[in-house]
């Protein structure tokens, strides 16, 4: 994917081992589940957070924290400048401090590679590895940056969500962002795509079809009503 950054452009590429991909797909096939998309973990959430962020375009850090690893998404002007996965374990006493140190080292290297440097003004975190609330505070102190958690459901103003459902944003953000990405036809690196042409057509032209379709339905109902009265 082409990523314009200032006057220059970069290319963002992803790769996966074919044998590993085949293994994952086979697991779903055993349970008669039809795979639609296979994307890098955390990528849909980071991509959409950057697009939904209402702050001034600048440098932002998004951390997808898992049980044994953390994926760093460095965003600059709404584009992904770096994705890197590093080992982490926030369940240990010094887990947040160790993670913060690795992140600072990564940001130093990234800043040296970019013409304008990289100095994030905020950090957003999500993921099942965030089981301890004090981890966010400790991570903020280590990075010396404000750290906020992500609840993707609250950012969607055009989606009706059942508030009675037990919701754990750190566990379900990725699933919701992936479903939203697929429904809206967003662009994301994808290792496997099985999608019907009819669904793609409906997603692309739905806003233009709904109005005329509603008028047609009203006309048909009026016509049928006239026939019934006669």
pLDDT-derived band at 187, boundaries 50, 70, 90: confident
Model confidence over 43-82: pLDDT tens digits? 889 888 877 754 545 788 899 999 899 999 988 777 788 8
More confident residue, 22 or 79: 22
* Whether the Cβ atoms of residue 110 and residue 119 lie closer than 8 Å to each other: no
Query: E strands within 66-217?
Result: 69-76, 79-87, 122-126, 147-149
Helices (H), 126-196: 134-143, 152-155, 169-184
Model confidence over 102-121: pLDDT tens digits? 998 888 888 887 777 888 88
Tell me the pLDDT of the chain averaged across its residues: 82
φ/ψ of residue 139, rounded to 5: -65, -40
Share of the chain above pLDDT 70, in %: 86
């Amino acid at each position: 994917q082409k990523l314009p950054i200032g006057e220059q452009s970069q290319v963002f590429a992803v790769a996966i081992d074919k044998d590993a991909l085949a293994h994952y797909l086979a697991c779903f096939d055993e349970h008669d589940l039809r795979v639609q998309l296979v994307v890098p973990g955390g990528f849909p959430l980071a991509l959409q957070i950057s697009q939904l962020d209402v702050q001034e375009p600048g440098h932002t850090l998004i951390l997808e924290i898992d049980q044994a690893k953390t994926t760093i998404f460095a965003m600059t002007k709404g584009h992904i400048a770096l994705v890197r996965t590093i080992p982490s374990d926030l369940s240990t006493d010094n887990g947040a401090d160790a993670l913060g140190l690795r992140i600072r080292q990564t940001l130093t290297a990234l800043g040296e590679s970019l013409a304008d440097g990289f100095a994030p003004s905020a950090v957003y975190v999500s993921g099942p590895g965030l089981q301890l609330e004090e981890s966010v505070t400790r991570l903020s102190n280590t990075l010396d940056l404000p750290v906020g958690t992500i609840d993707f459901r609250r950012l969607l103003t055009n989606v009706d969500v059942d508030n009675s459902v037990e919701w754990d944003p750190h566990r379900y953000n990725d699933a919701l962002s992936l479903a939203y990405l697929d429904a809206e036809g967003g662009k994301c690196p994808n290792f496997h795509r099985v999608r019907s042409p009819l669904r793609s057509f409906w997603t692309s032209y739905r806003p233009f079809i709904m109005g005329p379709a509603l008028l047609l339905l009203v006309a048909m109902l009026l016509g049928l009503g006239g026939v019934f009265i006669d």
